[in-house]
Homo-oligomer: A and B are copies of this chain.
Amino acid sequence: MIKRLAIIGVGLIGGSLSLALKKAGVVGEVVGYSRTESVREEALELGVIDRTACSVKEAVKDADMVFLAVPMAAMESVLIELKDHIAENAIITDGGSAKGQLVDIAKRVLTDKFSQFVPGHPIAGTEKSGPSAAFATLYRKHRVVLTPVAETNKDALEKVRTMWQATGAEVFEMDVKHHDVVLAATSHLPHVLAFNLVGMLAERDDCDDVLRYAAGGFKDFSRIASSDSVMWRDICLSNSEAILGLIQQYQQGLSELERAIKDQDGETLKTVFERAKQARDTRFKD
């Protein structure tokens, strides 16, 4: 049971955690803070949180659990703001999509309180954002990855695990670096690819005409290009090493397909397409 949960960033991720824990009846009071006043007011009006705070400092006061759901670039300043104001033994956890850089920042900023920080990443979301996008079942049957390090307090880790389990999520532990590569491959790179395609089409003079003839395949493929640009800018900058490695590998593959098309080398095309289809059909479980 969490007596008081402070949520910094009451959008889709933070708001949905609040709604899920309230629904499960495992949280006393949820205090929410977002930098933009209208956003926190909206979260309050929608019943996503119980009370708003005017600052990070005020939000974390007397909270036993603090959840950070701000864009990656804002994590450091939030950690700096809260460091001297959290309660003794309060646990801090987060929902950031890249963990390596954040763990380094948290270590540097939190110093002696770093052991109370449990790095986490709920692998769930939609292309929508803001408090109105939040819903109680977002995490149900989704995976939440925790990436504790040597210093992480075991009690804090267990409490964060219990919190996520209450939302209906499956909780896994993973090494920080492995997490960042896995997420770069299945989420960060696909977002970059989709943004790049739609951005390129948007620059065409005949963009509207082109998009008019786009079918269902394009709709699904490009849905993630509708995601929040600031959030994704920050993820790219935070997880740059893993993403860059995969972009390079991706470009090599694309150049090979380009060559095959140029040379009318149907054998290579069929082999690559078949390998992909096989993996998508048999190894990817929804």
Give A residues with C-beta under 8 Å from B: 73, 123-127, 142-143, 145, 172, 182-183, 185-187, 189-204, 206-230, 232-234, 236-237, 240, 243-244, 247-251, 253-255, 257-258, 260-262, 264, 266, 269-270, 272-281, 283-286
Determine the chain B residues whose CB is within 8 A of the CB of A234 once the complex forms.
Answer: 266
Contact of A275 among B192, B203, B230, B251 (CB under 8 A): B203
In chain B, what residue has the closest Cβ to A254? B196
Determine the chain B residues whose CB is within 8 A of the CB of A250 once the complex forms.
Answer: 196-197, 200, 254
What 9 A-B pairs have minimum CB-CB distances, sorted nearest first?
Answer: A202-B279, A229-B273, A198-B276, A199-B276, A186-B214, A220-B220, A229-B274, A233-B269, A226-B280
A197 to B232 CA separation, bound complex (whole angstroms)? 19
In chain B, what residue has the closest Cβ to A228? B277
Contact of A213 among B186, B202, B248, B277 (CB under 8 A): B186
Q: Which of A172, A182, A248 has the most CB of B within 10 A?
A: A182
A273 to B203 CA separation, bound complex (whole angstroms)? 12
Instruction: Tell me if A215 and B201 are in contact (CB < 8 A).
Output: no
Q: Give the Cβ gap from A119 to chain B, nearest Cβ, in Å.
A: 15
Contact of A210 among B124, B182, B192 (CB under 8 A): B182
| Given A125-B215, A197-B250, A227-B277, 12 other A-B residues pairs in contact with their CB atoms under 8 A | A73-B266, A123-B213, A143-B213, A190-B197, A192-B257, A195-B257, A202-B279, A207-B279, A208-B283, A219-B284, A240-B262, A247-B261
Instruction: Tell me if A200 and B253 are in contact (CB < 8 A).
Output: yes
Between-chain CB contacts (< 8 Å), 16 pairs: A123-B213, A182-B206, A182-B213, A185-B210, A195-B257, A197-B250, A197-B276, A202-B283, A203-B275, A211-B284, A212-B285, A219-B286, A228-B277, A229-B274, A236-B261, A240-B262
Q: Give the Cβ gap from A283 to chain B, nearest Cβ, in Å.
A: 6
Instruction: Tell me if A225 and B277 are in contact (CB < 8 A).
Output: yes
A196 to B249 CA separation, bound complex (whole angstroms)? 10
Determine the chain B residues whose CB is within 8 A of the CB of A253 once the complex forms.
Answer: 196, 199-200
Q: Give the Cβ gap from A147 to chain B, nearest Cβ, in Å.
A: 12
In chain B, what residue has the closest Cβ to A204? B185
Contact of A237 among B193, B218, B266 (CB under 8 A): B266
A262 to B240 CA separation, bound complex (whole angstroms)? 7
Determine the chain B residues whose CB is within 8 A of the CB of A254 once the complex forms.
Answer: 192-193, 196, 247, 250-251, 254
A285 to B222 CA separation, bound complex (whole angstroms)? 12
Query: A198-B276, A283-B208 known; A244 and B258 CB under 8 Å?
Result: yes
Determine the chain B residues whose CB is within 8 A of the CB of A202 once the complex forms.
Answer: 275-276, 278-279, 283
Q: Give the Cβ gap from A230 to chain B, nearest Cβ, in Å.
A: 6
A142 to B233 CA separation, bound complex (whole angstroms)? 35
